[in-house]
Copies of this chain bind each other. A is one copy, B any other.
Amino acid sequence: MGIRLRALRTVHMLHRQGRLAVLALCCLLLVATAALAQTDPLPSWNEGPARQAILAFVQATTDAANPGYVPPEARIATFDQDGTTWVEQPMYTPLLYCLARLRALAEEKPELADAEPFKSVLSGSMEHLADLPINDIVKFYTATMTGMTVEALGGQVRQWLATARDARWRRPYTELVYQPMLEVMQFLRAHGYKTYFVTGGGQGFLRAYAEKVYGVPPEQVVGAMNATTFSYDANGKPVLTEAPRLLLNTVGPGKPEGIQLMIGRRPQAAFGNSDGDKEMLEYVQAGGGTRLMMLVHHDDAAREYAYGAQSRVGTFPDSLMAEAAQRGWVVISMQKDWKRIFSWE
Contact = CB atoms under 8 A, between A and B. Distances in A.
A219 interface: yes
A279 B262 CA distance: 22
A282 B238 contact: yes
B257 A229 contact: yes
User: How many protomers of this protein does the assembly include?
Assistant: 2
A261 B225 contact: yes
A192 B133 CA distance: 45
Given A230-B257, A238-B286, A264 B23 contact: no
Interface residues on A, range: 35 or more
A15 to B, nearest CB: 11
A188 interface: no
Interface string A183-203: 000000000001000000001
A227 B240 contact: no
Contact of A228 (B217, B221, B257): B257
Nearest to A218: B264
Interface of A: 22-23, 26, 30, 73, 76, 150, 194, 203, 207, 211, 217-219, 221, 225, 227-231, 237-238, 240, 247-248, 253-254, 256-257, 260-265, 279, 282-283, 286
17 contacts: A22-B26, A73-B217, A76-B219, A207-B264, A217-B265, A218-B263, A218-B264, A219-B219, A221-B264, A227-B257, A228-B261, A229-B257, A230-B257, A230-B283, A240-B256, A247-B247, A247-B248
